[in-house]
Amino acid sequence: MQTETPYLKAAIFLAFAMALTVLTALGFQHIGGYIPCKLCYEQRTPFYVGAPLMALAALGAWLRWPAALTRALLFLGALIMAYSFYLGAKHAGVEWGWWPGPTDCGAVAPVDTGGKGVLDAINTVVPPSCDKAALRIFGLSFAGWNAVVSFVLMLVAGWAALKRT
C-alpha cells in the first residue's frame, strides 16, 4: 500500500525551497550586512505567504485531504511564484536600466548604526538603491536569482497541481 500521495513530496520540496530562499535573503541582510531596498522587501512577501501555504499543502497530502484541495493549494503556490517571478524580473530590469524604478526607493526600514548617531555612521552605511545591484553572482543580482528561483518553483508547483493521481 502506498503511504503518500504524489503531491506530498512536491509540497514538502516547495515549502522548504521557499523557506530557504527567504532565509537566504534574511541571512544576506542580517549576517552579510546587505541593506535591502524597497523592491527587495517586496520580493520577500510571496515567500512569506508561499512557504506556509505549501506546508499546509503537504499536511493536506499527508492527511489525505481531498486531492482537489491539495491540488488547489499547489496551484495557488504556482500563482504566488508567478507573481514572485514578476517582482524579481521587474527589479532586475530596473537594475539593468531597462525601465525606471520607484521614485521612493530609499524609503526602507531604519538602518542600525551600531549605537552611533546617523552622522557618525554616514560614511560606513550605504543606503540601498533599487537601480544598483548590491552583489552579482554569476552575472545575476539578488533580484535576478529571485526571478530564476521563482520561475523554477512556479513550474514545480504548477506541474504538481496539474498531476492527476
Question: Which CATH number does the domain housing residue 55 bear?
Answer: 1.20.1550
Q: How many Cα atoms sit within 13 Å of 94 on the Cβ side?
A: 22
Q: Is residue 95 part of a domain?
A: yes
Exposed, middle or buried: residue 71 (CB in 10 Å: 0-12, 13-18, 19+)? buried
In whole angstroms, give the CA distance from residue 47 to residue 94.
21
pTM: 0.82
Q: Is residue 1 part of a domain?
A: no
Q: Which range of residues forms the domain containing residue 27?
A: 6-162
Q: Is residue 112 part of a domain?
A: yes
Task: Count structural domains, the chain.
Answer: 1
Higher pLDDT, 72 or 96: 72
CB 7 within 8 A of CB 57: yes
What is the band of 117 on the pLDDT scale with cuts at 50, 70, 90? low
What does the block give as the cell for 54? Answer: 505549501
Q: Is residue 89 part of a domain?
A: yes
Q: Is residue 144 part of a domain?
A: yes
Side chain identity at 89, as an amino acid letter?
A
What does the block give as the cell for 5? Answer: 500521495
What is the band of 6 on the pLDDT scale with cuts at 50, 70, 90? confident
Mean pLDDT of 61-71: 92
**CB atoms < 10 A from the CB of 22, how many?**
18
Of the chain, the percentage scoring pLDDT greater than 70 comes to 82
